[in-house]
Structure 1
Amino acid sequence: MEELARLAGITVRTLRFYRERKLIPPPRREGRIAWYDDHHLARLRTISALLERGHTLNGIAELADAFDHGRDVGDLLGLGEPTEEIPVRLTPEELAARFEGEVTPENLAAAMDLGYLGTDGDEIVHISHRLLEVSSALVREGIPLGEVLRAGARVREHADALAELFADLILRHGREQDLQRLRPLARSVVEAELSLAMDRRSRKDAGRDRHPS
């Protein structure tokens, strides 16, 4: 315990307090000897970093519980990593820094339920670099992370339906072997239609501004 406290830059008294609050998992015991490892040290450094960012101990305890019960990245990725998306590994404090003040237990649980985040030891893995960048950019623009995640869930439903539509189109014509090769065409269709839809929405909004009710 003394060695762990020294490496973490805290007092033994503080370490005991964290253990009593269940902020760190119990040590492995051999008789009267308690063994701590790198996992405990990483958790203590995360606690210190989150405290410096203004999180409370109660909030950190809730985050730790959500983190400990999150989906394992192996379960999240299934049989293999995404074919086009690039997963991103983050420490809990790096995640908190990307979404300043928005990494709450509720948002963390929602992101894990949605399949955006998984855990791998002391690291968090985001399923997609592009989605991570977009969601953090939206939060920087002042949109609450909870609303971004709820929008993501709705987009997921539409994306699944579009994937089914395109796959059925190809399979109906006996081109199963070409499903992966032709997926860029599906992406191009979706991107073009979304661009046109945003144009239509912009014109609709402009018309409302010219003719207020």
Structure 2
Amino acid sequence: MADFPIEELARRAGMTVRTVRTYITRGLLPPAGRAGRAARYTGDHLDRLDLVNGLRRRGFSLGAIEVLVAQDTERTAEDALRLYRGMLAPWQPEEPVEVDEAELPGRLGLTPAAVSAHELLRHLDEAGVVEAAGPGRLRILAPDLARAAAEAVRLGIPPAALVGLRRRLDDHTGAVAEMFVELFARQVWDDYVDAGLPAGDAPRIQQTVEQLQPVATLALLSSFRSRMQDVMDAFITRISDDISPEAGRAM
């Protein structure tokens, strides 16, 4: 396995040498190898830095990460850290994808007859859902939103209106997400912490997080359907009044 000095480790990790030394001091990296008196690092150290930095970007403090590394001497730090990174995996948004421009309608589930590729591209570009990625290539920034926007085009709804609605929805669904996270914290996580973060319970915790997504989705969809029915009933009453003979005579 290739090894390299701390300066190269820092460069590959996109960090300063000073920050890497801080991580070493706090025990967040395994001991370095030696070549004479010089410390040498390998891809394993780089992987550890990737795990630690990924957790830091997700809001974990260095103190919290230290606890994860030190909590169980029989379990590697990578196992401990991957558990917590794995807890985030079910909630990751779809990664941007690149496609040939001609493939765009098919990629979004539309037949060429539904809408022209040029029209679809114009709408999605104006809505900020796609961007150029080179000659004849496009980058779909949010594939799930792009699919919804494509369907909106087919229905005659400008994607920009849908994207604007998505931003408003984010405000409301953010509050819903906080409710489910708080439920998980009270019912599962707090007991796990009180028990001292036992390694044997780690698979159960990760499985609970993974299963929380479909539970939350079904609960939210059920609530939305119920509220949508109420709103549609009110809408039908309104349009019935609009088209009733009495309304026509009043005009």
Q: Give the structure-1-normalised TM-score.
A: 0.42
The structure that has the greater radius of gyration is: 2
> 1 or 2, which has the higher helix percentage?
2
Q: Give the structure-2-normalised TM-score.
A: 0.36
